[in-house]
Structure 1
Amino acid sequence: MNHIMLDFESMSTEHNAALIQLGAVEFDPVAGELGREISINIDLTSSVDAGLHVSPSTILWWLGQSNEAQKTITDVKGTSLAQALLEFKMFYQNACANASHDKGSHIWANGPRADLNWLSSACIAVNMKPFWHYSCDKCVRTIVELGRAIGIDPKNENQFDGVEHCALDDAKFQARYCMEIWEKLTRI
Protein backbone atom coordinates (compact mmCIF):
# COMPACT_ATOMS: atom_id res chain seq x y z
CA MET A 1 0.00 0.00 0.00
CA ASN A 2 1.31 3.43 -0.92
CA HIS A 3 -0.32 5.48 1.83
CA ILE A 4 0.10 5.64 5.61
CA MET A 5 -2.15 7.55 7.98
CA LEU A 6 -0.23 8.80 11.03
CA ASP A 7 -1.60 10.17 14.28
CA PHE A 8 0.18 11.21 17.45
CA GLU A 9 -1.11 11.95 20.90
CA SER A 10 0.99 14.61 22.57
CA MET A 11 1.38 16.78 25.63
CA SER A 12 1.54 20.04 23.67
CA THR A 13 0.40 21.60 20.43
CA GLU A 14 3.72 23.37 19.85
CA HIS A 15 5.94 22.42 16.88
CA ASN A 16 8.14 20.35 19.20
CA ALA A 17 5.39 18.63 21.19
CA ALA A 18 6.26 15.88 23.66
CA LEU A 19 4.84 12.70 22.13
CA ILE A 20 3.05 10.05 24.18
CA GLN A 21 1.46 7.77 21.59
CA LEU A 22 1.90 6.92 17.90
CA GLY A 23 -0.68 5.21 15.74
CA ALA A 24 -0.43 4.51 12.03
CA VAL A 25 -2.22 2.39 9.46
CA GLU A 26 -1.49 1.63 5.82
CA PHE A 27 -4.36 2.30 3.45
CA ASP A 28 -5.23 2.07 -0.22
CA PRO A 29 -7.53 4.94 -1.22
CA VAL A 30 -8.33 3.36 -4.59
CA ALA A 31 -9.38 -0.02 -3.17
CA GLY A 32 -10.81 1.53 0.00
CA GLU A 33 -8.88 -0.87 2.25
CA LEU A 34 -6.87 -0.60 5.44
CA GLY A 35 -3.68 -2.61 5.84
CA ARG A 36 -0.98 -3.15 8.44
CA GLU A 37 -1.08 -1.03 11.56
CA ILE A 38 1.21 0.02 14.38
CA SER A 39 0.48 1.43 17.82
CA ILE A 40 3.17 2.53 20.26
CA ASN A 41 2.87 4.19 23.64
CA ILE A 42 5.81 6.54 24.17
CA ASP A 43 7.36 7.23 27.56
CA LEU A 44 6.66 10.89 28.35
CA THR A 45 9.90 11.23 30.32
CA SER A 46 11.92 10.19 27.25
CA SER A 47 10.13 12.83 25.16
CA VAL A 48 10.85 15.51 27.76
CA ASP A 49 14.46 14.34 28.18
CA ALA A 50 14.87 14.74 24.41
CA GLY A 51 13.88 18.40 24.80
CA LEU A 52 10.30 18.19 23.55
CA HIS A 53 7.65 20.55 24.91
CA VAL A 54 4.95 19.93 27.52
CA SER A 55 2.07 22.38 27.84
CA PRO A 56 0.03 22.75 31.05
CA SER A 57 -3.07 23.53 28.97
CA THR A 58 -2.68 20.24 27.06
CA ILE A 59 -2.32 18.32 30.33
CA LEU A 60 -5.54 19.94 31.53
CA TRP A 61 -7.18 19.06 28.21
CA TRP A 62 -6.18 15.39 28.70
CA LEU A 63 -7.70 15.43 32.18
CA GLY A 64 -11.01 16.39 30.57
CA GLN A 65 -10.98 13.46 28.11
CA SER A 66 -12.78 10.17 28.61
CA ASN A 67 -11.42 7.53 30.98
CA GLU A 68 -11.00 5.24 27.95
CA ALA A 69 -8.81 7.81 26.19
CA GLN A 70 -6.74 8.40 29.31
CA LYS A 71 -6.25 4.66 29.77
CA THR A 72 -4.85 4.26 26.26
CA ILE A 73 -1.89 6.39 27.30
CA THR A 74 -1.50 5.28 30.92
CA ASP A 75 -2.26 1.55 31.04
CA VAL A 76 0.65 0.45 28.87
CA LYS A 77 4.24 1.25 29.76
CA GLY A 78 5.68 3.44 27.06
CA THR A 79 8.80 2.76 25.06
CA SER A 80 11.52 5.37 24.62
CA LEU A 81 10.97 8.06 22.03
CA ALA A 82 14.02 6.90 20.05
CA GLN A 83 12.81 3.29 20.00
CA ALA A 84 9.27 4.33 18.99
CA LEU A 85 10.64 6.36 16.08
CA LEU A 86 12.88 3.49 15.01
CA GLU A 87 9.88 1.12 15.03
CA PHE A 88 7.83 3.56 12.97
CA LYS A 89 10.77 4.02 10.58
CA MET A 90 10.86 0.24 10.02
CA PHE A 91 7.06 0.20 9.51
CA TYR A 92 7.41 3.03 6.97
CA GLN A 93 10.32 1.42 5.14
CA ASN A 94 8.38 -1.82 4.84
CA ALA A 95 5.53 0.11 3.22
CA CYS A 96 8.02 1.82 0.89
CA ALA A 97 9.19 -1.55 -0.40
CA ASN A 98 5.86 -1.79 -2.23
CA ALA A 99 5.39 1.89 -3.05
CA SER A 100 4.82 2.99 -6.62
CA HIS A 101 5.95 6.55 -5.82
CA ASP A 102 9.72 6.75 -6.33
CA LYS A 103 10.15 8.88 -3.18
CA GLY A 104 8.39 6.37 -0.90
CA SER A 105 4.97 5.95 0.66
CA HIS A 106 2.77 8.97 1.26
CA ILE A 107 2.35 9.93 4.93
CA TRP A 108 -0.99 11.54 5.70
CA ALA A 109 -1.65 13.46 8.91
CA ASN A 110 -3.64 16.37 10.24
CA GLY A 111 -2.08 19.56 8.99
CA PRO A 112 1.46 20.66 8.28
CA ARG A 113 1.83 22.15 11.76
CA ALA A 114 0.78 19.08 13.73
CA ASP A 115 1.66 15.39 13.40
CA LEU A 116 4.15 15.55 10.51
CA ASN A 117 5.90 18.51 12.10
CA TRP A 118 5.97 16.66 15.43
CA LEU A 119 7.50 13.65 13.69
CA SER A 120 10.25 15.83 12.21
CA SER A 121 10.91 17.56 15.54
CA ALA A 122 11.05 14.24 17.39
CA CYS A 123 13.49 12.77 14.86
CA ILE A 124 15.76 15.78 15.21
CA ALA A 125 15.50 15.60 19.02
CA VAL A 126 16.85 12.03 19.05
CA ASN A 127 19.45 12.69 16.33
CA MET A 128 17.60 10.64 13.73
CA LYS A 129 17.55 11.91 10.20
CA PRO A 130 13.97 12.25 8.93
CA PHE A 131 13.43 9.09 6.88
CA TRP A 132 10.73 10.16 4.43
CA HIS A 133 10.86 12.56 1.50
CA TYR A 134 9.12 15.90 2.02
CA SER A 135 7.05 15.37 -1.13
CA CYS A 136 5.38 12.41 0.59
CA ASP A 137 3.71 14.67 3.22
CA LYS A 138 -0.05 14.72 2.69
CA CYS A 139 -2.62 16.80 4.59
CA VAL A 140 -5.86 15.30 5.89
CA ARG A 141 -7.37 18.72 6.54
CA THR A 142 -6.92 19.69 2.89
CA ILE A 143 -8.74 16.64 1.54
CA VAL A 144 -11.51 17.16 4.12
CA GLU A 145 -11.95 20.73 2.87
CA LEU A 146 -12.07 19.46 -0.73
CA GLY A 147 -14.76 16.99 0.31
CA ARG A 148 -16.81 19.79 1.83
CA ALA A 149 -16.41 21.77 -1.40
CA ILE A 150 -18.16 18.96 -3.30
CA GLY A 151 -20.83 18.53 -0.63
CA ILE A 152 -19.60 15.65 1.56
CA ASP A 153 -18.21 15.68 5.09
CA PRO A 154 -17.60 12.12 6.28
CA LYS A 155 -15.29 13.37 9.04
CA ASN A 156 -18.29 14.87 10.81
CA GLU A 157 -21.02 12.60 9.43
CA ASN A 158 -19.50 9.14 10.00
CA GLN A 159 -19.61 7.22 13.26
CA PHE A 160 -16.25 7.02 15.05
CA ASP A 161 -15.20 3.43 15.67
CA GLY A 162 -12.97 2.95 18.72
CA VAL A 163 -11.69 5.34 21.38
CA GLU A 164 -11.32 8.97 20.40
CA HIS A 165 -7.79 10.24 21.13
CA CYS A 166 -6.32 6.77 20.91
CA ALA A 167 -3.75 7.39 18.15
CA LEU A 168 -4.41 4.17 16.22
CA ASP A 169 -8.19 4.53 16.37
CA ASP A 170 -7.87 8.16 15.24
CA ALA A 171 -5.56 7.15 12.37
CA LYS A 172 -7.97 4.46 11.16
CA PHE A 173 -10.93 6.85 11.32
CA GLN A 174 -8.97 9.49 9.40
CA ALA A 175 -7.93 6.95 6.76
CA ARG A 176 -11.53 5.80 6.31
CA TYR A 177 -12.97 9.25 5.75
CA CYS A 178 -10.06 10.25 3.49
CA MET A 179 -10.71 7.16 1.37
CA GLU A 180 -14.38 8.07 1.14
CA ILE A 181 -13.54 11.58 -0.03
CA TRP A 182 -10.90 10.25 -2.43
CA GLU A 183 -13.46 7.91 -3.98
CA LYS A 184 -15.91 10.78 -4.54
CA LEU A 185 -13.23 13.12 -5.91
CA THR A 186 -12.00 10.57 -8.43
CA ARG A 187 -15.52 10.25 -9.86
CA ILE A 188 -15.75 13.93 -10.76
Structure 2
Amino acid sequence: MKHTYTDAMADIETLDTRPSAVVISIGVVLFNRREPKVKMKELNLKFGKKEFRDEQIMMGRTVDKETVAWWKGQEPDAKRIFKQANVTSMEDALNKLTAFLTQGDTNYLIWGNGSDFDNTIITSLYESFGMQAPWKFWNNRCFRTFKGEHGHITRPPEFQGVKHDAVDDARQQARYLQAIYAELQKYNILSYKERQQ
Protein backbone atom coordinates (compact mmCIF):
# COMPACT_ATOMS: atom_id res chain seq x y z
CA MET A 1 0.00 0.00 0.00
CA LYS A 2 1.37 3.41 -0.92
CA HIS A 3 1.74 5.79 1.98
CA THR A 4 0.86 8.77 -0.19
CA TYR A 5 -2.15 10.93 -0.86
CA THR A 6 -5.08 9.01 -2.32
CA ASP A 7 -7.95 11.39 -1.68
CA ALA A 8 -8.92 15.06 -1.77
CA MET A 9 -11.65 16.50 0.45
CA ALA A 10 -13.19 19.69 -0.93
CA ASP A 11 -15.33 22.19 0.91
CA ILE A 12 -16.68 25.48 -0.39
CA GLU A 13 -18.45 28.51 0.98
CA THR A 14 -21.06 30.04 -1.30
CA LEU A 15 -23.82 32.62 -1.64
CA ASP A 16 -26.35 30.15 -3.06
CA THR A 17 -27.07 26.43 -2.94
CA ARG A 18 -27.61 25.95 -6.68
CA PRO A 19 -24.84 24.69 -9.00
CA SER A 20 -24.55 28.26 -10.31
CA ALA A 21 -23.71 29.67 -6.86
CA VAL A 22 -21.23 32.47 -6.34
CA VAL A 23 -18.33 30.85 -4.48
CA ILE A 24 -16.39 32.84 -1.89
CA SER A 25 -13.83 30.25 -0.80
CA ILE A 26 -12.56 26.78 -1.62
CA GLY A 27 -10.70 24.57 0.82
CA VAL A 28 -9.09 21.30 -0.27
CA VAL A 29 -7.20 18.78 1.83
CA LEU A 30 -5.10 15.99 0.33
CA PHE A 31 -5.04 12.91 2.57
CA ASN A 32 -4.92 9.13 2.65
CA ARG A 33 -8.18 7.68 3.90
CA ARG A 34 -6.47 4.48 5.12
CA GLU A 35 -3.37 6.10 6.64
CA PRO A 36 -4.13 8.90 9.14
CA LYS A 37 -0.40 9.20 9.89
CA VAL A 38 0.21 10.61 6.40
CA LYS A 39 0.29 14.37 7.02
CA MET A 40 -2.47 16.24 5.21
CA LYS A 41 -1.66 18.90 2.65
CA GLU A 42 -3.99 21.90 2.42
CA LEU A 43 -5.02 24.56 -0.06
CA ASN A 44 -7.10 27.47 1.23
CA LEU A 45 -8.36 29.73 -1.57
CA LYS A 46 -10.09 32.89 -0.40
CA PHE A 47 -11.93 35.29 -2.70
CA GLY A 48 -14.76 36.73 -0.65
CA LYS A 49 -14.17 40.39 -1.48
CA LYS A 50 -16.78 42.21 -3.54
CA GLU A 51 -14.71 42.39 -6.73
CA PHE A 52 -14.50 38.59 -6.90
CA ARG A 53 -18.21 38.22 -6.24
CA ASP A 54 -18.93 40.76 -8.98
CA GLU A 55 -16.60 38.93 -11.37
CA GLN A 56 -18.64 35.76 -10.90
CA ILE A 57 -22.01 37.52 -11.17
CA MET A 58 -20.87 38.97 -14.51
CA MET A 59 -20.33 35.38 -15.67
CA GLY A 60 -23.93 34.48 -14.74
CA ARG A 61 -23.37 33.02 -11.30
CA THR A 62 -26.09 33.49 -8.69
CA VAL A 63 -26.76 34.82 -5.19
CA ASP A 64 -29.63 33.64 -3.00
CA LYS A 65 -31.26 35.94 -0.43
CA GLU A 66 -31.76 33.14 2.10
CA THR A 67 -28.09 32.15 1.90
CA VAL A 68 -27.03 35.78 2.38
CA ALA A 69 -29.33 36.01 5.41
CA TRP A 70 -27.81 32.78 6.77
CA TRP A 71 -24.32 34.28 6.48
CA LYS A 72 -25.40 37.34 8.47
CA GLY A 73 -26.18 35.03 11.41
CA GLN A 74 -22.76 33.34 11.46
CA GLU A 75 -19.89 33.98 13.85
CA PRO A 76 -17.57 36.95 13.15
CA ASP A 77 -14.60 34.64 12.53
CA ALA A 78 -16.49 32.92 9.71
CA LYS A 79 -17.71 36.21 8.20
CA ARG A 80 -14.14 37.50 7.86
CA ILE A 81 -14.04 35.73 4.51
CA PHE A 82 -15.95 38.66 3.01
CA LYS A 83 -12.88 40.87 3.59
CA GLN A 84 -10.26 38.32 2.51
CA ALA A 85 -8.61 37.29 -0.75
CA ASN A 86 -5.39 35.47 -1.56
CA VAL A 87 -5.83 35.33 -5.35
CA THR A 88 -5.69 37.98 -8.06
CA SER A 89 -8.73 36.79 -10.05
CA MET A 90 -11.11 33.89 -10.34
CA GLU A 91 -8.98 32.45 -13.13
CA ASP A 92 -5.98 32.65 -10.80
CA ALA A 93 -7.95 30.78 -8.10
CA LEU A 94 -8.99 28.01 -10.48
CA ASN A 95 -5.47 27.67 -11.89
CA LYS A 96 -4.13 27.24 -8.35
CA LEU A 97 -6.78 24.62 -7.60
CA THR A 98 -5.92 22.75 -10.80
CA ALA A 99 -2.21 22.78 -9.97
CA PHE A 100 -2.93 21.49 -6.46
CA LEU A 101 -5.11 18.62 -7.67
CA THR A 102 -2.82 17.53 -10.50
CA GLN A 103 0.47 17.26 -8.61
CA GLY A 104 2.06 13.83 -8.72
CA ASP A 105 0.66 10.92 -10.68
CA THR A 106 -2.37 10.16 -8.52
CA ASN A 107 -5.96 10.37 -9.68
CA TYR A 108 -7.42 11.47 -6.37
CA LEU A 109 -10.90 10.52 -5.28
CA ILE A 110 -12.59 13.92 -4.88
CA TRP A 111 -14.86 14.00 -1.85
CA GLY A 112 -17.49 16.67 -1.25
CA ASN A 113 -20.10 16.97 1.48
CA GLY A 114 -23.18 16.40 -0.64
CA SER A 115 -23.56 14.71 -4.01
CA ASP A 116 -25.10 17.88 -5.46
CA PHE A 117 -23.03 20.50 -3.68
CA ASP A 118 -19.24 20.98 -3.41
CA ASN A 119 -18.01 18.99 -6.43
CA THR A 120 -20.96 20.01 -8.59
CA ILE A 121 -20.58 23.71 -7.83
CA ILE A 122 -16.81 23.68 -8.33
CA THR A 123 -17.28 21.97 -11.70
CA SER A 124 -19.85 24.59 -12.66
CA LEU A 125 -17.49 27.37 -11.53
CA TYR A 126 -14.79 26.05 -13.85
CA GLU A 127 -17.30 25.94 -16.71
CA SER A 128 -18.35 29.55 -16.06
CA PHE A 129 -14.77 30.64 -16.73
CA GLY A 130 -14.27 28.40 -19.76
CA MET A 131 -12.15 25.87 -17.89
CA GLN A 132 -12.42 22.18 -17.07
CA ALA A 133 -12.41 20.67 -13.59
CA PRO A 134 -9.16 18.72 -13.06
CA TRP A 135 -10.70 15.37 -12.21
CA LYS A 136 -12.71 12.67 -13.95
CA PHE A 137 -16.40 12.53 -13.05
CA TRP A 138 -16.06 8.91 -11.94
CA ASN A 139 -13.71 10.02 -9.15
CA ASN A 140 -16.46 12.08 -7.49
CA ARG A 141 -17.33 10.82 -4.00
CA CYS A 142 -20.02 11.97 -1.56
CA PHE A 143 -18.89 12.24 2.04
CA ARG A 144 -22.44 12.96 3.22
CA THR A 145 -23.63 9.63 1.81
CA PHE A 146 -20.64 7.75 3.22
CA LYS A 147 -21.17 9.36 6.63
CA GLY A 148 -24.88 8.57 6.51
CA GLU A 149 -24.16 4.91 5.85
CA HIS A 150 -21.25 4.40 8.25
CA GLY A 151 -20.99 7.42 10.57
CA HIS A 152 -22.70 5.61 13.43
CA ILE A 153 -19.67 3.40 14.04
CA THR A 154 -17.51 6.20 15.44
CA ARG A 155 -17.83 9.73 16.73
CA PRO A 156 -16.56 12.64 14.68
CA PRO A 157 -13.21 14.07 15.83
CA GLU A 158 -13.24 17.26 17.86
CA PHE A 159 -13.51 20.22 15.47
CA GLN A 160 -10.33 22.22 14.98
CA GLY A 161 -10.45 25.75 13.59
CA VAL A 162 -13.35 27.95 12.49
CA LYS A 163 -16.65 26.44 11.37
CA HIS A 164 -17.56 27.56 7.84
CA ASP A 165 -13.93 28.23 7.03
CA ALA A 166 -13.60 26.06 3.93
CA VAL A 167 -10.24 24.46 4.68
CA ASP A 168 -11.08 23.87 8.35
CA ASP A 169 -14.34 22.17 7.32
CA ALA A 170 -12.53 20.09 4.68
CA ARG A 171 -9.93 18.98 7.22
CA GLN A 172 -12.64 18.00 9.70
CA GLN A 173 -14.48 15.97 7.08
CA ALA A 174 -11.26 14.22 6.03
CA ARG A 175 -10.43 13.34 9.62
CA TYR A 176 -13.91 11.96 10.20
CA LEU A 177 -13.72 9.91 7.01
CA GLN A 178 -10.38 8.48 8.18
CA ALA A 179 -11.90 7.59 11.56
CA ILE A 180 -14.78 5.77 9.86
CA TYR A 181 -12.39 3.92 7.53
CA ALA A 182 -10.27 2.84 10.50
CA GLU A 183 -13.32 1.22 12.09
CA LEU A 184 -14.36 -0.43 8.84
CA GLN A 185 -10.85 -1.80 8.38
CA LYS A 186 -10.76 -3.03 11.97
CA TYR A 187 -13.82 -5.20 11.40
CA ASN A 188 -12.86 -6.03 7.80
CA ILE A 189 -16.20 -4.84 6.44
CA LEU A 190 -14.99 -2.74 3.54
CA SER A 191 -16.44 -3.86 0.22
CA TYR A 192 -14.18 -5.64 -2.26
CA LYS A 193 -14.12 -2.53 -4.46
CA GLU A 194 -13.18 -0.29 -1.52
CA ARG A 195 -10.34 -2.63 -0.56
CA GLN A 196 -8.94 -2.44 -4.09
CA GLN A 197 -8.95 1.38 -4.33
Question: TM (normalized to structure 1)?
Answer: 0.88
Greater mean deviation of Cα atoms: 18-27 or 39-48: 39-48
Q: Secondary structure at the match of 2:116?
A: helix
Q: Percent identity?
A: 28
> What one-letter code is carried by the residue in structure 2 that aligns with 1:86?
N
Amino acid at match of 1:159: E
Matched residue SS, 1:89: helix
Distance 1:185 1:73 in 2: 40
Question: Superposed, which structure 2 residues align to 1:19-168 within 5 Å?
Answer: 19-32=23-36, 33-42=38-47, 43-76=52-85, 79-94=88-103, 97-99=104-106, 104-148=107-151, 151-154=153-156, 158-168=157-167
Q: Tell me, yes or no, if the aligned pair for 2:10 and 2:112 is still in contact at 8 Å.
A: yes
1:11 CA displacement: 0.5
Greater relative contact order structure (CA < 8 Å, 6+ sep)? 1
Aligned to 1:177: 176
Distance change (3 Å), C-alpha of 1:78 and 1:54:
farther
Aligned partner of residue 54 in structure 1, secondary structure: coil
Query: What SS does the corresponding residue of 1:173 show, helix, strand or coil?
Result: helix
Map Cα deviations across residues 34-72 of structure 1 (whole Å, 9 max, x no partner): 422111112212221221111111111100000000013
Between the aligned partners of 1:115 and 1:90, the Cα distance in structure 2 is 18
Distance in 1 (alpha carbons) for counterparts of 2:102 and 2:141 = 17
Structure 1 segments, 4+ long, off by >6 Å, are none
Distance 1:173 1:5 in 2: 9
Matched-pair contact (CA < 8 Å) for 2:46–2:84? no
- Cα contact 2:71–2:79 (8 A) shared by 1: yes
RMSD value, Cα: 1.5
1:6 aligns with 2:10: yes
Pick the structure with greater CA Rg: 2
- TM-score, with normalisation over the residues of structure 2? 0.85
User: Gaps (5+ residues) in structure 2?
Assistant: 188-197
- Alignment equivalent of 2:19, drawn from 15, 19, 23: 15
Q: Which moved more, 1:71-80 or 1:52-61?
A: 71-80
Aligned residues: 178
Question: What is the Cα deviation at residue 78 of structure 1?
Answer: 5.4
